[in-house]
Structure 1
Amino acid sequence: MVAFDEQFRQQLRELLIWRRDVRRFRTDPLPDGALERLIDIACLSPSVGLSQPWRFVIVQNPARRSAVIDDFRACNADALASYSGDRAARYAALKLSGLEEAPGHLAVFAEKAGDIGHGLGRATMPETIEYSVVAAVCSMWLAARAEGIGLGWVSILNPVRINEILDVPGSQKLVAYLCVGYPQTELDHPELERTGWEYRRPSHEFTTRR
């Protein structure tokens, strides 16, 4: 059994503190094999029934990237229209993706029709397929941060349109579209907190005892 000492535990906490959802990227290219290495680590994550439902698409084609950016702009305009007054002005000032600057684009899907794992653990909670993919993304996020690489999760997208753009099977559900690259600055607080959109609340606000 591997033993993790107090120094390691403190470093793990620091890794969690410094993990950021990055929006502002340098345009420097990633090292050869960096995305593949992060995908390897993501695949070490737990999954319901060992179903391994994650499917990764490295998006390199310029036309496909451009189509994703266009979809983001359309969805972002719709989102802005849902706010009014000061909140709308705050929203308009936010930088909500690094799609144009980030050297790496990675789409992560959940395979809903896969037979790996033989359905174990999913009959009562089929959504655990998507949860498993989220766990893989979180593992990748931390591994990337440990290498000084930033990830930005872009959720202001139309999942059906992204499936079309990337030509993936209908059985695959978009879970995450990630910008990957080196951040312009290192931050230990979320950008949305620094801009006043929201603040990180203490854990006791989300904890109950029964």
Structure 2
Amino acid sequence: MPIPSALAPAAPFSDAERDAVYKAIFTRRDVRDQFLPDPVAEDVLHRILTAAHHAPSVGLSQPWNFIVIRDQAARDQVWHAFNRANEEAAQMFEGDRQTSYRSLKLEGIRKAPVNICVTCDRSRGGKVVLGRTHNQSMDLYSTVCAIQNLWLAARAEGIGMGWVSVFRDADLRDLLKIPDRIEIVGYLCLGHVDELYQTPELEVKGWSKRLPVDEMIFDGTWQGDP
């Protein structure tokens, strides 16, 4: 008996489907403050996390886990840990740059009804993982792909998301009881929002701006140095 094919036709999306994918990409924003208190429905959250779980991973190792934090007291503890690190971060900038940094509102941890800590289990898949034999960081890159999937799915669901990166690793590890062998990759805040910036907030507020894509594209060899 012939073995059924595991392949399916790779037909392009319809125009409407393609436009929806690009809309999610181009209107995705990092939400820092403007979360509403409305809860995120469990079926919506499950769809978003399922999208994250369908990210590509090296050797199909699926090294990620998602710690979902809903309790307000727990989120307050995380915020205090963030706030200590954020004050240290502010001191690293000088003059107007420090003033601008301090003006950014970073209240998502407390305001967003759902926080998610995304981790990478670097032992998953065993000692030798297909695709990691020469680049041990591929599991971390895979986990970041899961976060990107999660972010785009959240945007498609009308859920705002912010990525908080200002933490002392040991503080977050202690609060969430994360073993030493597990890598913390991202801390995310999710919730409903009324509106999103049309362009990235940091661009609106003059912190930086998006570089032209043509400057990012090299033909054949590295061409980035003067």
Give the structure-2-normalised TM-score. 0.88
Residue 115 of structure 2 contacts residue 188 of structure 2 at CA under 8 Å; is this kept in 1?
Answer: yes
Deviation at 1:161, TM superposition (A): 1.6
Alpha carbon RMSD of aligned pairs, Å?
A: 1.6
Within a 5 Å distance, the mapping from 1:98-113 to structure 2 comes to 98-113=108-123
1:205 aligned residue (198, 210, 215): 215
2:38 aligned residue (28, 32, 38): 28
SS at match of 1:123: coil
* Aligned residues between the structures: 210
Residue 154 of structure 2 contacts residue 160 of structure 2 at CA under 8 Å; is this kept in 1?
Answer: yes
SS at match of 2:183: strand
Q: Extract unaligned runs of 5+ from structure 1.
A: none
Deviation at 1:117, TM superposition (A): 9.2
1:5 aligned residue (11, 14, 32): 14
**2:186 matched to which residue of 1?**
176
> Is the alpha carbon distance of 1:160 and 1:95 closer, same or farther for their aligned partners in structure 2, counting shifts above 3 Å?
same
Residue 36 of structure 2 contacts residue 112 of structure 2 at CA under 8 Å; is this kept in 1?
Answer: yes
Deviation at 1:61, TM superposition (A): 3.6
**2:5 matched to which residue of 1?**
none
Deviation at 1:97, TM superposition (A): 4.3
Deviation at 1:118, TM superposition (A): 4.7
Work out the CA distance in 1 between the residues paired with 2:44 and 2:126.
27
Residue 40 of structure 2 contacts residue 114 of structure 2 at CA under 8 Å; is this kept in 1?
Answer: yes
Work out the CA distance in 1 between the residues paired with 2:128 and 2:39.
40
2:156 aligned residue (113, 135, 146): 146
Residue 17 of structure 1 contacts residue 188 of structure 1 at CA under 8 Å; is this kept in 2?
Answer: no
**1:166 matched to which residue of 2?**
176
SS at match of 2:151: helix
Q: Percent identity?
A: 37
Q: Extract unaligned runs of 5+ from structure 2.
A: 1-8, 222-226
Residue 72 of structure 2 contacts residue 110 of structure 2 at CA under 8 Å; is this kept in 1?
Answer: no
1:46 aligned residue (51, 56, 79): 56
Residue type matched to 1:159 in 2?
Answer: D
2:97 pairs with 1:87: yes
Deviation at 1:78, TM superposition (A): 0.4
Give the structure-1-normalised TM-score. 0.94
> Is the alpha carbon distance of 1:116 and 1:4 closer, same or farther for their aligned partners in structure 2, counting shifts above 3 Å?
farther
Deviation at 1:116, TM superposition (A): 5.8
SS at match of 2:206: coil
